[in-house]
């Protein structure tokens, strides 16, 4: 009760008093502050126990319901979840039905390859009304202000940081040690967010992500408020998994993710178009006006694999997946993510993914590079320049080719919009 009733700013205030006490001789320290530190440490531990208990309960209830329903199928588990724990799919009616039709139907309906955005219709046919209503009832059955299904949990620790808001390596290690002392390491999963409440509640200060073995700081390359670390594959989680858990800044509401487009490069090349787009922008005087711009836009489809498809384990992991479309290498009804330790594409990404970039030749060349070799004709100039770069520069460039922003205002279930991020948007 102390953990949920005490204002969050009290944690940082007591942490500051605790740090001041360390500069005083032990005989002159205030015993009440020491007692408060102990109470807040115990409060965060109790909060985490309840939170993880709620997660187990929320995942158990849909699993029990789906087991008793004939013909219902659960979605692939989130990273770190055991095979017996299932989660409901992204509900198809989570957005109002009165929303305007997607503009992508007219933009890509004439693709001669017959896929692209048309896959959205075929994907909708895979869902039966009984299965969809059952998944919606599962989502509505569990309700807690501390945890939401298919949303990252925000765990708490209380570790006063002598270095202030920016956690040093020693402070991060101490946060890991606190999780171990609390007996939580066995319950953590890849993608769990841990917040050191002792450093404050402004933006993403003190927030880290568990990568399966260690706590990882947020990435500040493209945002001053912090984004998902590049070591966490975005496709392994629902598109809205970190929404409001990892906060976005006031100037950039669209979160940064990293996605490898090379498995779908051929499909992106087939659907690529140069189109006009209207953008509503704000002037320095506070007025709004519409600006017409040219953009390159394409789309690809992440299709749910057939549940009866089987492949040998050697072809479902590692770099061998890059040699073809991920769906063709699915195993056990899941799509493996290349270059990850056994992670799979979350069902929230199934459907159409619209990718766009600026309408310039430089942006077009950048998108072509992101699609990998074989999707577009090779450019001699880029290949020569790449051969002259050192390994560190090549690794940095490879990471830059995987950076996108999710366009929240356009995305919806079964249709996710992403936009490329140019090197000009780098902050560090």
Cβ neighbours of residue 347 under 8 Å, at least 6 residues apart?
Answer: 75, 76, 89, 90, 238, 304
Banded model confidence at residue 382, pLDDT cuts 50, 70, 90: low
Residue 50 Cα distances to 54, 92, 115, 147, 148, angstroms:
6, 30, 46, 10, 13
pLDDT of residue 72 exceeding 70, the answer is no
What per-residue confidence (pLDDT) applies to 65? 54
Least confident of 101-105, 126-130, 240-244, 256-260: 126-130
Domain membership flag for residue 164: yes
Higher-confidence residue of 98 and 162: namely 162
Banded model confidence at residue 87, pLDDT cuts 50, 70, 90: very low
At 380, give phi and psi (nearest 5°).
-65, -40
Cβ neighbours of residue 268 under 8 Å, at least 6 residues apart?
Answer: 261, 298, 299, 300, 355, 367, 371, 375
Number of domains in the chain: 2
What per-residue confidence (pLDDT) applies to 122? 39
Domain membership flag for residue 99: no
Banded model confidence at residue 23, pLDDT cuts 50, 70, 90: confident
Q: Which domain holds residue 279?
A: 105-124+257-425
Q: Are residues 120 and 162 in the same domain?
A: no
Q: Are residues 342 and 303 in the same domain?
A: yes
Least confident of 52-56, 133-137, 327-331: 327-331
Q: Are residues 220 and 263 in the same domain?
A: no
Q: Hunting for tokens 């202030």 — which residue is that?
A: 164
Q: Are residues 334 and 384 in the same domain?
A: yes
Domain membership flag for residue 90: no
pLDDT of residue 283 exceeding 80, the answer is no
Distance, CA of 216 to CA of 231 (rounded, Å): 8
Q: Are residues 326 and 420 in the same domain?
A: yes
Q: Are residues 219 and 261 in the same domain?
A: no
Domain membership flag for residue 220: yes
Domain membership flag for residue 56: yes
DSSP string, 96-155: -TTSPPPTHHHHHTT-TTS-GGGHHHHHHHTS-HHHHHHHHHHHHH---SS--TTS--EE
Q: Are residues 117 and 209 in the same domain?
A: no
What per-residue confidence (pLDDT) applies to 394? 76
Q: Indicate the pairing of strand 215-217 with strand 207-210.
A: antiparallel
Q: Indicate the pairing of strand 415-420 with strand 351-358.
A: parallel
Distance, CA of 93 to CA of 136 (rounded, Å): 8
pLDDT of residue 152 exceeding 90, the answer is yes
pLDDT 10s digits, 207-231: 999 999 999 999 999 988 899 999 8
Least confident of 31-40, 97-106, 377-386, 408-417: 97-106
Q: Are residues 263 and 357 in the same domain?
A: yes
Q: Are residues 119 and 171 in the same domain?
A: no
Cβ neighbours of residue 304 under 8 Å, at least 6 residues apart?
Answer: 123, 126, 333, 347, 350
Q: Residue 239, Cβ neighbours under 10 Å: how many? A: 24
Cβ neighbours of residue 189 under 8 Å, at least 6 residues apart?
Answer: 78, 79, 80, 81, 210, 212
What per-residue confidence (pLDDT) applies to 219? 94
Q: Are 415 and 103 in contact (CB under 8 A)?
A: no
Domain membership flag for residue 375: yes
Q: Are residues 269 and 197 in the same domain?
A: no
Distance, CA of 270 to CA of 294 (rounded, Å): 19
Where do the DSSP E strands lie in 137-272?
154-157, 193-196, 207-210, 215-217, 256-258
Q: Are residues 396 and 312 in the same domain?
A: yes
Domain membership flag for residue 94: no
What is the 8-class DSSP label of residue 31? Answer: H
Q: Are residues 315 and 178 in the same domain?
A: no
What per-residue confidence (pLDDT) applies to 341? 80
pLDDT 10s digits, 190-210: 999 999 999 999 999 999 999
Which two structure tokens, joined as six digits, stand for 73? Answer: 């199928």
Domain membership flag for residue 179: yes
Least confident of 113-117, 139-143, 163-167, 366-370: 113-117
Q: What is the mean pLDDT of residues 233-257?
A: 90
What per-residue confidence (pLDDT) applies to 17? 94
């Amino acid at each position: 009760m102390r953990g949920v009733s005490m204002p969050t700013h009290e944690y940082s205030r007591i942490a500051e008093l605790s740090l001041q006490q360390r500069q005083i001789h032990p005989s002159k320290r205030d015993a009440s502050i020491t007692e408060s530190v102990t109470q807040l440490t115990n409060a965060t531990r109790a909060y985490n126990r309840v939170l993880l208990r709620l997660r187990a309960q929320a995942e158990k209830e849909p699993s029990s319901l789906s087991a008793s329903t004939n013909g219902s199928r659960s979605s692939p588990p989130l990273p770190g979840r055991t095979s017996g724990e299932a989660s409901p799919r992204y509900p198809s009616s989570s957005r109002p039905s009165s929303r305007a039709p997607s503009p992508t139907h007219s933009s890509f309906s004439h693709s001669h390859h017959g896929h692209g955005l048309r896959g959205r219709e075929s994907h909708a046919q895979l869902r039966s009304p009984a299965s969809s209503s059952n998944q919606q009832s599962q989502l509505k059955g569990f309700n807690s202000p501390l945890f939401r299904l298919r949303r990252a949990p925000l765990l708490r620790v209380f570790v006063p940081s002598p270095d202030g808001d920016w956690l040093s390596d020693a402070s991060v290690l101490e946060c890991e040690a606190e999780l171990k002392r609390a007996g939580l390491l066995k319950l953590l999963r890849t993608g769990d967010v841990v917040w050191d409440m002792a450093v404050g509640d402004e933006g993403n200060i003190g927030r880290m992500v568990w990568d399966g073995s260690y706590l990882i700081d947020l990435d500040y390359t493209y945002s001053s408020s912090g984004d998902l670390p590049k070591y966490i594959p975005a496709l392994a989680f629902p598109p809205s998994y970190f929404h409001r858990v990892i906060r976005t800044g006031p100037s950039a509401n669209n979160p940064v993710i990293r996605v490898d487009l090379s498995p779908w490069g051929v499909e992106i090349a087939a659907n690529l178009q140069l189109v006009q787009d209207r953008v509503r922008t704000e002037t320095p005087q506070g007025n709004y006006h519409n600006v017409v711009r040219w953009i390159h836009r394409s789309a690809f489809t992440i299709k749910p694999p057939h549940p009866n498809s089987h492949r040998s384990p050697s072809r479902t992991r590692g770099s061998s997946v890059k040699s073809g479309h991920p769906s063709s290498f699915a195993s056990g009804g899941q799509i493996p993510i290349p270059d990850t330790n056994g992670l799979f594409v979350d069902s929230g990404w199934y459907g159409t993914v619209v990718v766009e970039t600026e309408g310039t030749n430089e942006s077009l060349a950048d998108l072509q590079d992101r699609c990998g070799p074989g999707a577009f004709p090779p450019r001699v100039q880029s290949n020569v320049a790449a051969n002259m770069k050192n390994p560190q520069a090549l690794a940095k460039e490879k990471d830059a080719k995987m950076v996108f922003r999710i366009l929240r205002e356009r995305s919806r279930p079964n249709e996710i919009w992403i936009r490329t991020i140019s090197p000009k948007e780098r902050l560090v």
